[in-house]
Amino acid sequence: MLGPVAAGLLGALGPAFGWLPAIGADEPGFAVFRDLLAWPGFMDAARLSVVTGLASTFLSLGLVMLVLASLHGTRAFEAVRRLLSPLLAVPHAAAAFGIAFLIAPSGWIARAFSPWATGWERPPDLLIVQDAGGLALIAGLVAKEAPFLLLMSLAALGQIRPEREVLAARSLGYGREAAWLKAVLPRLYAQIRLPVYVVLAYSMSVVDVAMILGPNTPSTLSVQVVRWMGDPDLALRLRAAAGALVQAGLVIGALGLWRLGEIAVRRFGLRLIARGGRGRSLRVLRPVALGAGLLSGAAVILGVAGLAIWSVAALWSFPELLPDAMTWRNWARHGPGLAEPALRTLGIAAAATMIALVLTIGCLEAEHRRGLRLTSRGAWVLYMPLLIPQVAFLPGLQTLMVAGGLTGGLGAVIAAHVVFVLPYVFLSLGDPFRAWDSRLATSAAALGARPDRVLWAVRMPMLLAPGLTAAAVGFAVSVGQYLPTLLAGGGRVATLTTEAVALAAGGDRRAIGVYGLAQTAAALLPFLAALLVPRLVWADRRGLRDGA
């Protein structure tokens, strides 16, 4: 996993320092960086990246901790938990479009309050989506990243098993929330630190969501880098490479800042714990937690509903809550053009997921047979493609691939997707695979079964449900990839995601609705299959019914 990342960063070094002979740049020096700094939007773009990244990470983490502290173990939490899988599966671009449709001046929220409360007969002239401060971008990121952090926390909590600690603390007179924050959170955070860093790096450098919800005056640095990459003026490639390196530097700096924050919070927290406050009044947070959690989930779900309605909307004038009529005309118009990118999207996702699954099962099985354990350093390697911003190493990787004549094909896109699919497949299959009772393997071996037979006749059939879930996760990740598709494909491999993001500038809501919904379906349907197939296959096996 280090290979592509290192190659990509190295590939950006040459052009960033003014050396790209292919376009006649052969005078190494700092001229490119001076050029980048002289670009008038530089400071704003860089600040925007840092602020939106830190703010959305802080808010996502805060929301997850609030929900867990107030609601974990309650019945309301089950509702939140059930929302989790669909929320995770909705691709970033589709969720961003959906949220844009909700909060835009002509969106559902404005329509719901107009004209009776607002007096608006026409959409107000307000810049809500793509606001200069990046607030819409932050909101969109929180709605997608909070579910991810919640999922990671739940996986960690499965190992921590906090119920008894919370009970012990509560019997000492601590309120539920305080017991959770003081007895569980410190251990939980240690386990989800890496995913938090991933969220921070991702939020700072995301491209597709920032193109849809982020400002244009200027855009975030990563969006700007991608624009320069695609500019017909090849000299701007140099500036793009320099920008990519600066972006990587910003992420590393922000990670360092976050680490300092962790240390400060830890000191403060320890002192707070030593004071022994029982915090029973924190109970008032419970409705806040529930409200905030539902609001965040509802934003994505209503957003997708909005996409669905726009995709079948005939005339839909402000401030009507629903269109005058429903029609298939939008689908008829975009359907033929949709088929090819849809098939390509599914093919790429299937191939990348398959490769990632084979590699993952191979790794985990080797771990099992040789008695190895993934060290924390190994985990860092696995997370590396998620920690280094895509926009920082993909342009360099593209330059190298162009030099090697590898770019532009489906193969290159699939290879690039595997880099990002593999970590998620590994993370999602790793725990169930390791948690499997290995006495069953010993039992099978004692009956004379060779290791391959144990794997394919006993272990994998029993792990059908988590295996399919991992495949669905990988599939959804691949479907949602924007930048790797764009860059590895040299802009010539069109998928549902690249087509949808390309529509962002045009503002044709019906077309966006069609493409966004198709993208969501492509990511969501495998999750449904992963849920249903094991129930059908193991319908008469009670021991496996609750998802082994």
Per residue, the 3-state secondary structure of 176-219, as one string, reads HHHHHHHHHHHHHHHHHHHHHHHHHHHHHHCCHHHHHHCCCCCC
Q: How far is the CB of 356 from another protein (least distance, A)?
A: 24
Total site size for another protein, rule CB under 8 A? 26
User: Residue 385's Cα: distance from chain center in Å?
Assistant: 13
Q: How far is the CB of 312 from another protein (least distance, A)?
A: 43
- Applying CB under 8 A, among 322, 457, 532, 533 the residue interacting with another protein is 457
Burial class (CB in 10 A: 0-12, 13-18, 19+), 518: buried
Segment contacting another protein by CB under 8 A, of 116-124, 171-179, 233-241, 535-543: 535-543
Q: How far is the CB of 536 from another protein (least distance, A)?
A: 13
Q: How far is the CB of 434 from another protein (least distance, A)?
A: 14
User: Residue 327's Cα: distance from chain center in Å?
Assistant: 33
Q: Does 542 bind another protein (CB under 8 A)?
A: yes
User: Residue 543's Cα: distance from chain center in Å?
Assistant: 34
Q: Does 540 bind another protein (CB under 8 A)?
A: yes
Q: How far is the CB of 375 from another protein (least distance, A)?
A: 15
How far is the C-alpha of 405 from the C-alpha of 399, rounded, in Å? Answer: 10
29 dihedral zone (left: phi>0; alpha: psi -120 to 50; beta):
left
Q: Does 440 bind another protein (CB under 8 A)?
A: yes
Segment contacting another protein by CB under 8 A, of 143-151, 336-344, 387-395, 454-462: 454-462
Short-list 413, 26, 17, 50, CA closest to 241: 17
What three-state secondary structure class fits 442?
Answer: helix
Q: Dmax of the chain from CA atoms?
A: 79
Q: Does 546 bind another protein (CB under 8 A)?
A: no
Short-list 162, 158, 240, CA closest to 207: 240
Q: Which residues, other chains included, contact 65 with Cβ-Cβ below 8 Å and sequence gap of 6+?
A: 181, 185
As given in the structure block, the two tokens for residue 443 are 């039992």
Beta strand spans in 14-73 (E): 19-20, 25-26
Angle between the N-to-C axes of helices 509-537 and 464-480, in degrees from 0 to 180, rounded to the nearest 10: 170
Q: Does 541 bind another protein (CB under 8 A)?
A: yes
AA identity, residue 167: L
Q: Does 117 bind another protein (CB under 8 A)?
A: no
Nearer to another protein, 370 or 377 (CB): 370
DSSP assigned state of 545? T
Site for another protein in 352-381 (CB under 8 A): 371
Q: How far is the CB of 453 from another protein (least distance, A)?
A: 8
As given in the structure block, the two tokens for residue 413 are 């896109």
**Which residue is listed with tokens 């099985």?**
365
Segment contacting another protein by CB under 8 A, of 139-147, 387-395, 444-452, 481-489: 444-452
How far is the C-alpha of 290 from the C-alpha of 268, rounded, in Å? Answer: 27
- Applying CB under 8 A, among 445, 521, 525, 528 the residue interacting with another protein is 445
Q: Does 462 bind another protein (CB under 8 A)?
A: yes
Say how many residues make up the chain.
548
Nearer to another protein, 54 or 548 (CB): 548
Segment contacting another protein by CB under 8 A, of 65-73, 245-253, 348-356, 455-463: 455-463
Q: Which residues of 328-359 are buried (b: 16+ CB within 10 A; e: fewer)?
A: eebbeebeeebeebbebbbebbbbbbbbbbee
- Applying CB under 8 A, among 161, 271, 275, 450 the residue interacting with another protein is 450
How far is the C-alpha of 37 from the C-alpha of 243, rounded, in Å? Answer: 9
Q: How far is the CB of 469 from another protein (least distance, A)?
A: 17
**Which residue is listed with tokens 């992420």?**
251
Nearer to another protein, 168 or 440 (CB): 440
- Applying CB under 8 A, among 337, 461, 490, 547 the residue interacting with another protein is 461
- Applying CB under 8 A, among 442, 456, 492, 505 the residue interacting with another protein is 442
- Applying CB under 8 A, among 444, 496, 524, 530 the residue interacting with another protein is 444
Nearer to another protein, 405 or 543 (CB): 543
Segment contacting another protein by CB under 8 A, of 115-123, 133-141, 148-156, 435-443: 435-443
How far is the C-alpha of 93 from the C-alpha of 189, rounded, in Å? Answer: 28
Q: Does 455 bind another protein (CB under 8 A)?
A: no
- Applying CB under 8 A, among 21, 119, 448, 506 the residue interacting with another protein is 448
Nearer to another protein, 315 or 446 (CB): 446
Q: How far is the CB of 253 from another protein (least distance, A)?
A: 41
Q: Does 521 bind another protein (CB under 8 A)?
A: no
Segment contacting another protein by CB under 8 A, of 112-120, 446-454, 479-487, 497-505: 446-454
Please spell the DSSP secondary structure of 339-367, one letter per residue.
Answer: HHHHHHHHHHHHHHHHHHHHHHHHHHHHH
Q: Does 118 bind another protein (CB under 8 A)?
A: no
Short-list 353, 351, 311, 352, CA closest to 333: 311
Nearer to another protein, 354 or 445 (CB): 445
Q: How far is the CB of 446 from another protein (least distance, A)?
A: 5
Q: How far is the CB of 459 from another protein (least distance, A)?
A: 10
Nearer to another protein, 26 or 437 (CB): 437
* Contact residues: another protein, CB under 8 A: 371, 437, 439-440, 442-451, 457-458, 461-462, 464, 538, 540-544, 548
